[in-house]
Amino acid sequence: MALPKSFDKYLKTFAKIPFPIPLGKITELRTARQSVKSQAQSIAKLKLEVAHPPVITRVAHGLSMDQAILDYVRSATQVEEQRLARSFVQALTVDPQYKEIGFIGFGVLLAQLNLLESAHNYFLEAGSAKASELVPYEYFDSAVFVDEKKGVAEL
């Protein structure tokens, strides 16, 4: 019985002592918690991208390597993605084995930016037959923009 009385006395004594609420520390912990959540989401997204690179994933889903590269370039809509896609296709243009697909990919990227005359020059550099086969919309759009009569005749 002595224990409950002393416990009641303890609560009555110390319940009246005001404890300062460290508001600055609470807000600091809240912001840290939010940044940890956003960092965890970024890490999860990057793990997915590193584990499943876009071009390799497209090839695994049944596209040919050329179509996978062009699909990757077409899907690049944000500035950072376009910068990465541009670097990728420019690196392909250096290798003689992938030079044509690199030029076509760069032409697709330029066509997305409405630089149709430059895109058409890259398509011609790669070969108009292969460009019209792989990227018909972008190729003929740029061909009609550069020379309407010749582009319509090619259609």
**pLDDT digits 0-9 by tens, 13-41:** 665 655 566 667 777 878 877 777 777 77
- C-alpha neighbours within 13 Å on the C-beta side of residue 118: 10
Question: What is d(CA 82, CA 16) in angstroms, rounded to the nearest whole number?
Answer: 63
Question: Quick check: 111 and 138 in contact, CB under 8 A?
Answer: yes
Rounded to a whole number of angstroms, the CA Rg of the chain reads 30
Spell out a b/e string for 122-136, using b for 16 or more CB atoms within 10 Å of the CB, else e: bbbbbeeebbbebbe
pTM for the model stands at 0.66
What are the residue ranges spanned by the domains of the chain?
Answer: 25-61, 63-154
Residues in the chain: 155
pLDDT of residue 82: 87
Give the CA dihedral 94, 96, 98, 102, nearest 10 degrees.
Answer: 40
Q: Report the alpha-carbon distance of residue 54 to residue 58 in Å, rounded.
A: 6
> How many other C-beta atoms lie within 10 A of the C-beta of residue 11?
10
> pLDDT per residue over 71-118, tens digit each?
999 988 888 888 888 988 998 898 889 999 999 999 999 999 999 999
pLDDT at 44: 73
What CA–CA distance (Å, rounded) separates 68 from 84? 15
**């890259």: which residue's tokens?**
122
Where in 5-133 does DSSP place strands (E)?
none
Kindly state the average pLDDT of the residues 121-126. 93
